[in-house]
Amino acid sequence: MTPVTKISLASLLLLAPLSAAHAATVLKMAHAAPTTDTQQQAAERFAELVREGTDGEITINIFGNGVLGGDQQMIAGVRSGTIDIEMSGNPNFAGLQPALGAFDLPYIFANRDEAYQVLDGKVGDDALALLKQDNLKGLAFWEVGFRAMTNSKHPIKTPADVDGLVMRTNSNKSLIEAFSLLGANPVPMPLGELYTALETGTVDAQDHPISIVWSAGFYEVQDYLSLTNQAYTSLLLVMNDDKFESLSPEYQQVLIKAAREAGQYQRDLNEKNEKTILSELAKKGMKIETDVDTAAFQKIVLPTWDSYIAANGRDWIDAIQSVEHDVTSAKAGHKDKTTAAVTQ
């Protein structure tokens, strides 16, 4: 063997471990929303940002529309490692970490700004950290949105209009209790089964943000939409914690940064699309009710907060409301400064 050959073989042996260490990683990501929803668009944006941030070393394959199972199946898959990443509404994680139910309490968020300030700050980070106990790495809060009610019977303006409806709900205990207090018959059901249940009359009604009403085609099997906005639902993007910890610190930060950026991208899409969606739903024949007696709804469902506090204490509620107070104060201060500037 010539000296040149020996050097070439030695070089290949030295390079082999380096190549293995930087072998491309393919991650499997799942969600239950229709592939026409902004959740899919955000997932695609997330995958793009991760690919760019890792120079193609990490590729994310997306499986939407519940093809890998319902929310609980996907969460279990991520915990066990058969799925790498998934996103589900916050209520689906409250069974693992009951404290997270604070974020789903009826009317705990008055508007998007309050929700974002809470979820994107320390309170949100602390909530995501709870999931490490369940072998989940919370990457970011994305958005399902403020929930509206649809049904096939009549407009919903007051709590009395909900009485007697068979109402599909998610697994959120507070939401189930709220609809019971309103006189409905709540039926927890996965999103993937809902269209058929509405079409066959198994349930009369459901509540989701208007983006889901549109992307899931519920306007085809529901006549009435009421903008009750009774709860805000965040979307958690989670990853198998063992898989996350196996990545380099650099790539871990790429994933977190990409998750936050894609989440903001989705929120912007949702807000931008709302007026268009409402217009399109009206064209499809849905009767849209905006004149809702919100105060009456709030009064009736308030005991859901007491139930949460009895089971979990009020630390998380206090933390949320503390941030909301700061947001309100900041807005008031800005308004005062603006008024002063105008009158000078």
pLDDT tens digits, 245-288: 999 999 999 999 999 999 999 999 999 999 999 999 999 999 99
Query: Is the Cα dihedral 43, 46, 52, 53 positive or negative?
Result: negative
Is the pLDDT confidence value at 232 over 60? yes
pLDDT of residue 326: 73
Is the pLDDT confidence value at 1 over 70? no
Q: Which band of pLDDT confidence, cut at 50, 70 and 90, is reported for residue 325? A: confident
CATH code of domain 13-312: 3.40.190.170
Burial of 185 (0-12, 13-18, 19+ CB in 10 A): middle
pLDDT of residue 331: 55
Residues 185-197 have a mean pLDDT of: 95
Is the pLDDT confidence value at 324 over 90? no
Pairing of strands 232-240, 185-188: unpaired
Residues 111-118 have a mean pLDDT of: 96
**Tokens read off for 64:** 């939407």
pLDDT of residue 2: 47
Q: Which band of pLDDT confidence, cut at 50, 70 and 90, is reported for residue 6? A: very low
pTM of the complete model: 0.84
Residues 138-156 have a mean pLDDT of: 97
Quickly count: other Cβ atoms within 10 Å of residue 5's Cβ.
9
**Tokens read off for 326:** 């700061």
Burial of 302 (0-12, 13-18, 19+ CB in 10 A): middle
The candidate with the shortest Cα–Cα distance to 149, out of 292, 1, 309, is 292
pLDDT of residue 205: 98
Quickly count: other Cβ atoms within 10 Å of residue 110's Cβ.
13
Contact 59, 51 (CB under 8 A): yes
